[in-house]
């Protein structure tokens, strides 16, 4: 006799209907609620983060413009452009010892007065 496991909790299902996939409605509901999360593959997840990082870099680049290597911006302004402070490629100190978060070659640092300093450097330090 073929044993089937509940798709949600993994409990062996007692033979009833042949196409039964869950113990009960609770497991069915739970499974369907979590479906979207479980269907995100590792590849999709990586791509999603890469997109966030590239978007962050693009936003910092726009903030600085072509002529500046340093600029202070209101935090709300930066977030309003879609910047996500949770994602960056590295954390590194400047020559003055301030820790900046970098999205590739462009860095940012939050200050207590809700402003963010944006900086550019030639190349991200890899260490």
Chain residues binding Zn ion by CB under 5 A are: 6, 8-9, 11, 23, 27
CA atoms of 52 and 31, how far apart (whole Å):
28
Q: Which is nearer to Zn ion, 20 or 68 (CB)?
A: 20
CA atoms of 34 and 30, how far apart (whole Å):
6
The alpha carbon of residue 34 and the mean position of all alpha carbons in its chain are separated, in whole angstroms, by 19
Residues with Cβ within 8 Å of 48's Cβ and at least 6 positions away in sequence, in order, are 40
Q: Which is nearer to Zn ion, 4 or 55 (CB)?
A: 4
Tell me how far, at minimum, the Cβ of 115 lies from Zn ion, in Å: 51
Tell me how far, at minimum, the Cβ of 8 lies from Zn ion, in Å: 5
Q: Which is nearer to Zn ion, 21 or 81 (CB)?
A: 21
Question: By C-alpha distance, which of 3, 4, 1 is closest to 22?
Answer: 4
Tell me how far, at minimum, the Cβ of 30 lies from Zn ion, in Å: 8
């Amino acid at each position: 006799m073929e044993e089937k496991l509940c798709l949600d909790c993994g409990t062996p299902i007692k033979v009833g209907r042949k196409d039964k996939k869950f113990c009960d409605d609770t497991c069915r509901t739970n499974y369907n609620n979590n479906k979207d999360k479980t269907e995100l593959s590792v590849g999709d997840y990586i791509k999603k983060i890469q997109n966030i990082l590239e978007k962050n870099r693009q936003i910092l680049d726009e903030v600085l413009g072509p002529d500046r290597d340093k600029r202070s911006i209101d935090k709300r302004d930066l977030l309003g452009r879609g910047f996500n402070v949770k994602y960056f490629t590295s954390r590194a100190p400047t020559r003055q010892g301030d820790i900046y978060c970098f999205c590739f070659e462009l860095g940012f640092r939050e200050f207590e007065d809700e402003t963010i300093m944006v900086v550019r450097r030639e190349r991200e330090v890899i260490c």
